[in-house]
Amino acid sequence: MGCYAVKLEISRSIGKFVFDRRAIALLVFASILVAGHAWLRAHPENNPWAPLDLRDPPGWATQSKLAAIGSDTEACRAVLERSEVQFDVLASQGSGACARPDRTILSESLLQPGNPAMTCPAAIGLHLWLEKSLQPAAMQKFGQEIASIQHLGVYNCRRLYGRSEGAWSEHATGNAVDIAGFTLSDGTTISVLSDWDDGGAKGEFLSRVRDDACAMFGTVLSPDYNAAHRDHFHLDQAERAWGVCR
Ligand SMILES: [Zn+2]
């Protein structure tokens, strides 16, 4: 009889212990969920379900959200509006391979000459590049803001490398921009052609902003890629499974 009572006591203790362990595990799990939820609320850039806001710092989920816009012009313009980025919309233009149903102009793109219209995804890339890369890098390296960005063109109804056949360039729909250099607020110029390999601050600035652009554009081609790009960065928003960054 005594032996039975001891056994019962032991099995009760084990039962209680198992129950406690479960309760603790449940509590730990619940606190992780609550903490995780609070953390994602504070870091929407890392939350794949939070709507994209270009004012947020770049995070783990930023690139997939940018890619998800694809060529959905309405969704893209909604992102600009939500992010309080000023822009204008021009009427569609062109036809066939060079049709431009989406002509968006960023009010403060700093692009010169003119302020060319481009697709909304390209405009988003440019805005992000300016705010999250070019301006902070210029402040850090030179203590100056970027006053203007020199471009070599956005829209050009042509095939790749101007060939008579083959794939059309992203420039044919205004989904690309070629960047030749930058002017700082004190008038200092930084040129892809002259300063890419200068071994100094300008060259460092150029390779840093080239690298940064790879998280914001589908394609980035620089002087590292080939001689055709010795004097400019080609940036486009071609829809690809993997970005091109060279
Ligand atoms: Zn180009």
Classified by CATH at the fold level, domain 51-245 comes out as Muramoyl-pentapeptide Carboxypeptidase; domain 2 (3.30.1380)
The rounded Å distance from CA 14 to ligand 1 centre is 71
- Collapsing DSSP to helix, strand or coil, 94 comes out as coil
Tokens found for residue 113:
């000459």
Distances (CA, A) of 11 to 7, 14, 15, 22: 6, 5, 6, 17
DSSP-derived letter for residue 185 is T
Q: Which residues contact 67 (CB under 8 A, 6 or more apart)?
A: 218, 239
Cα(144) to ligand 1 centroid in Å equals 27
pTM of the model: 0.86
Model confidence pLDDT, tens digit, residues 131-171: 999 999 999 999 999 999 999 999 999 999 999 999 999 99
Q: In which band, very low, low, confident or very high, does the pLDDT at 241 lie, cut at 50, 70 and 90?
A: confident
Calculate how far, in angstroms, residue 119's C-alpha sits from the geometric centre of ligand 1: 14
| 181 closest CA partner among 211, 222, 144 | 222
pLDDT digits (tens, 9 = 90+) for 183-197: 999 999 999 999 999
Instruction: Reply yes or no on whether the pLDDT at 223 is more than 70.
Output: yes
| Cα–Cα distance measured from residue 70 to residue 104, given in angstroms and rounded to the nearest whole number | 15
Question: What mean pLDDT is predicted for residues 31-46?
Answer: 87
Cα-to-centroid distance, 180 and ligand 1 (Å): 10
The stretch 98-107 carries a mean pLDDT of: 97
Distance 177 CA to ligand 1 centre (A): 6
Parse the chain into domains and list their residue ranges.
1-42, 51-245
Helix ranges (H only) for 53-181 are: 62-69, 73-82, 120-129, 135-142
User: Which pair of structure tokens corresponds to residue 12?
Assistant: 């009760």
Band of the pLDDT at 5, cuts 50, 70, 90? low
